[in-house]
Every structure is written in structure tokens, then in C-alpha cells.
């Protein structure tokens, strides 16, 4: 058994084909990350510009049995990341070899920890699924069989847990905060993303992210070009009211992003792509769930209750799209404030995810 670095087009094709085959044969999960991996290989995304990225296939008798991508980001220099892990069952040795390779690279960069489940940046994914294995994943969410967790559970790694929430979308709960919402609407102005002024609004998004999430676990600063590229891709599907900003005296102070669960347009085993763009045009109104991706509020405005005002805007937008239900993206279980908001407005805690860490 050997670990082969993916350095040429032939090995890249083998890497991608192995991933496609796994998803197709599972016939359950939708692959939302293949396009991103293709961009990493081609170097077409600016995300690669200040990162060191190594892809590996682990082979047994010249057959791929396990794979992953190791990322070093200088702005998150304490961590070496093992991303986009995929494997056949019964490959404990291969998984260990891949982890050892990531640690070896991390030591060369003087990293303090290995992190497994962070896909280059939190904006591209965080965590491995650790329950509800028999359900299709929502758009941009992690999807993996249980034996992936079994591999890492045997390695005596530290665990950081995340969870999601879901509910029927109505104003029953948020109407409890009617007096607060009236006050918020008097003090703040809400605006949807304006694609006619794409660069301006994209920069607002980046600046708010970098200020609102400073100090959050695993977050590091984004640049304008990276976020512009990401938003360009998202807005192939999203409408302008999927990204809403809050302004105070003309200055942006908060934002929220949501979108329909586009994976409802895909069958299990499919790679998300062009065909789903057309399905969205003709079938988008049939999507039943909306996904709350992220919200951020500048520190000096957090005690104002602005987050409730932002989420109220989401409810209004979702109802305008005919969407009846809500599922959240991941929330770190250590994030007391965000969990409190979700518990106040959602029916139940839903899926759970885990990130693995190891001191090196």
C-alpha cells in the first residue's frame, strides 16, 4: 500500500473518477464539491494563490482505496488540514497512512495541529457527518458513511462537534419578538444584494465576514477576489434576496445568507452541476426547504437584537419563494449565542457533525 501524490492530469483524473464512482454507487449523497476540487486542480480559483495544496491517492495493488487533499493556509498557520476525505470500507491502514502524510506535511510547516474535516476554509465546508447517515445531504453539507468516522475514532483524536437545526417556516416564534422587530426596523435598514453593483456588495460581504467572524474557531480572513468568485457561482442559482444586509446610518453592520436547498433538484449519487442549473429554472419553485447558511453582526451591534431582524427578513424572503421549511447550516456546539438563537426559533436540533484534531 502506498500514498501517491497527485501531480499530473492522469492522476487527477483517477482522483476524480474514484470520487465520482463512490457517490454514484452510494446512490444517496449528492456531491457538491467535485467542481471545487476540479478548480483546485486547474488552478482557476484564486483560492489557491496563497495556499499550499497537496492531493493524494492511497493505492493498494495499484487501485485507489482512499484519498484526500492536504491544505496549508498561512493565515491559519497553526493547522494543517486534511480535506475532502473519501474511502472504500475496510481501509483503516490506508486512512492512517493518509493522516500520517498530512502530519508529515504539517510538521514541515511548523503547524501545531492537524484538523480533519475543514475544507480549506469554513466557507467551503466544515465537519464530517456523524448521524443521519441514511439521509440525502442538503446543499453544501457534508455527506459520508459511518465508517469514515470509525477510521478516525480509532486514532485517538480530539473531537469538536457541530450541529444543525430545522423547523417549519412560519412567524409563530419570531412574532414573540414583535416589539423588538419594530424597534429594529426603525433603527436599521435592510437591503438585498444588488447584482448591478456586484463588486460593491461583494466587498461589503467580505468586510462583514472578516469583522464579524474574527476570532471564531477555524475562521481566517477572506479576500475580495475569493468571495467575488464564490458569489458569482452562487448567484447562478441564488436570487438577490438570498443575501441580505443590515445598514445603520448608511454603514453596513450585519448580513445573512440563505438559499433554497438546491440538492432537492438532484438525485442521490449525482454530481451537482449544469443540469441542476436548468432544473432550478424549471423546478426551483418546487423546493420545500430553505437553508440558512450564515449570519454575521458586527460586535458593537450584537446586543441590539439585530440578528432577529435579519432572520425576520429571511422568513419573509423564503415565504416569497413558496418555501415552507428551514434547515440551518452547521453551528459549533461551543457557540452559545448562535445555538440560543436557533433553539429559540427552530423546532429541533437536527444533524450532528464532527471535526477531528490532533496535536503534532
DSSP 183-244: HHHHH-EEEE--GGGHHHHHHHHHHHHHHHTTTSTT-----HHHHHHHHHHHTTT--GGGEE
pLDDT tier for residue 16 given thresholds of 50, 70 and 90: very high
What digits encode the pLDDT tens for the residues 204-248?
999 999 999 999 999 999 999 999 999 999 999 999 999 999 999
Distance CA 26, CA 58 (A): 20
Domain harbouring 101, CATH code: 3.40.630.30
Cβ partners under 8 Å of residue 132, min gap 6: 350, 351, 352
Could you tell me what percent of the chain has a pLDDT over 90? 95
What digits encode the pLDDT tens for the residues 299-329?
999 999 999 999 999 999 998 999 989 999 9
Residues 196 and 109 in one domain: no
Residues 326 and 233 in one domain: yes
Residues 340 and 202 in one domain: yes
Residues 200 and 344 in one domain: yes
Distance CA 265, CA 284 (A): 8
Tell me, yes or no, whether 360 lies in a domain: no
Residues 211 and 306 in one domain: yes
Distance CA 224, CA 213 (A): 16
Cβ partners under 8 Å of residue 142, min gap 6: 117, 125, 126, 127, 128, 129, 353
Q: Can you give the pLDDT at residue 170?
A: 63
Asked if 69 contacts 37 with a C-beta cutoff of 8 angstroms, the reply is yes
pTM here is 0.95
Tell me, yes or no, whether 130 lies in a domain: yes
> 133, 163, 193 — which closes off a domain?
163
> 105, 133, 163 — which closes off a domain?
163
Domain span holding position 182: 167-351
Tell me, yes or no, whether 359 lies in a domain: no
Domain count, the chain: 2
Amino acid at each position: 500500500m502506498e500514498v501517491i501524490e497527485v501531480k499530473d492530469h492522469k492522476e487527477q483524473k483517477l482522483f476524480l473518477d474514484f470520487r465520482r464512482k463512490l457517490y454514484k454507487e452510494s446512490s444517496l449523497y449528492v456531491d457538491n464539491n467535485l467542481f471545487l476540487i476540479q478548480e483546485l486542480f486547474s488552478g482557476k480559483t484564486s483560492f489557491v494563490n496563497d495556499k499550499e495544496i497537496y492531493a493524494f491517492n492511497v493505492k493498494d495493488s495499484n487501485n485507489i482505496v482512499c484519498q484526500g487533499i492536504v491544505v496549508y493556509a498561512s493565515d491559519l498557520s497553526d493547522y494543517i488540514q486534511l480535506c475532502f476525505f473519501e474511502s472504500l470500507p475496510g481501509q483503516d491502514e490506508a486512512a492512517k497512512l493518509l493522516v500520517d502524510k498530512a502530519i508529515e506535511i504539517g510538521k514541515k510547516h511548523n503547524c501545531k495541529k492537524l484538523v480533519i474535516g475543514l475544507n480549506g476554509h469554513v466557507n467551503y465546508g466544515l465537519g464530517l457527518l456523524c448521524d443521519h447517515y441514511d439521509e440525502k445531504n442538503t446543499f453544501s453539507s457534508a455527506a459520508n458513511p459511518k465508517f469514515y468516522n470509525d477510521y478516525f475514532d480509532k486514532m485517538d483524536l480530539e473531537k469538536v462537534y457541530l450541529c444543525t437545526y430545522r423547523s417549519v417556516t412560519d412567524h409563530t416564534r419570531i412574532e414573540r419578538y414583535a416589539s423588538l422587530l419594530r424597534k429594529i426596523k426603525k433603527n436599521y435598514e435592510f437591503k438585498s444584494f444588488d447584482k448591478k453593483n456586484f463588486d460593491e456588495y461583494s466587498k461589503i460581504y467580505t468586510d462583514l465576514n472578516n469583522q464579524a467572524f474574527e476570532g471564531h474557531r477555524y475562521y481566517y480572513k477572506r479576500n475580495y477576489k475569493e468571495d467575488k468568485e464564490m458569489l458569482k457561482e452562487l448567484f447562478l442559482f441564488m436570487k438577490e434576496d438570498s443575501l441580505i444586509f443590515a445598514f445603520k446610518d448608511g454603514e453596513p453592520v450585519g448580513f445573512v445568507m440563505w438559499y433554497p436547498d438546491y440538492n432537492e433538484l438532484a438525485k442521490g449519487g449525482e454530481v451537482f452541476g449544469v443540469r441542476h442549473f436548468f432544473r432550478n429554472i424549471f423546478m426551483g419553485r418546487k423546493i420545500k426547504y430553505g437553508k440558512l447558511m450564515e449570519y454575521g453582526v458586527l460586535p458593537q451591534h450584537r446586543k441590539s437584537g439585530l440578528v432577529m431582524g435579519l432572520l425576520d427578513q429571511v422568513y419573509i424572503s423564503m415565504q416569497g419563494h413558496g418555501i415552507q421549511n428551514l434547515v440551518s447550516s452547521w453551528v459549533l456546539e461551543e457557540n452559545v449565542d448562535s445555538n440560543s438563537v436557533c433553539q429559540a426559533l427552530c423546532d429541533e436540533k437536527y444533524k450532528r457533525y464532527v471535526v477531528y484534531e490532533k496535536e503534532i
